[in-house]
Amino acid sequence: MRNINRAGFGLAVGGLLVCIGGPMHPRGSMDSLDAHMITMLESPVWVVSHVIAMVGTALIAVSLIVLSRSLEPRTLRPFVAVTAVGACLAAVEYPPPHPGGHRTGSAACR
């Protein structure tokens, strides 16, 4: 029972972090793909928003793994485990680019 409580707390905190990081994400200019990406990459909150959302998604993934190991009935465990794998794959999408990724110009988009 204790693992389920920890998993629930982790899911709640992870979801809250995703809800904070997502709306913080800067909006692009929509003039062109290059201009759109450059506008977002130049924003000072771009990295912060991605890190917050990534930590939240990783916490959700870990919480789902904990939940899948202690969930009853056992027939539900595979479904929660597949959901945990999906959350892990989503967390991989969030990391900011390499330190040189904040250059201006069209080279930043390639």
Instruction: Identify whether 73 is preceded by a cis peptide bond (ω within 30 of 0).
Output: yes
Q: What is the pLDDT of residue 1?
A: 53
The pLDDT of residue 12 is 95
In the chain, where the domains are located: 2-109
Three-class SS state of 11 = helix
Side chain identity, residue 29? S
Chain segment 32-55, per-residue pLDDT in tens: 888 877 888 888 888 888 889 999
pLDDT digit of tens for each residue in the chain (110 aa)? 566 688 899 999 999 999 999 888 888 777 788 887 788 888 888 888 888 999 999 999 999 988 888 887 888 888 988 998 999 888 888 776 654 544 444 444 33
Q: What is the total residue count of the chain?
A: 110
CB atoms within 10 A of CB 61: 21
The tokens for 27 are 């909006």
pLDDT of residue 30: 77
Specify the pLDDT at position 47. Answer: 84
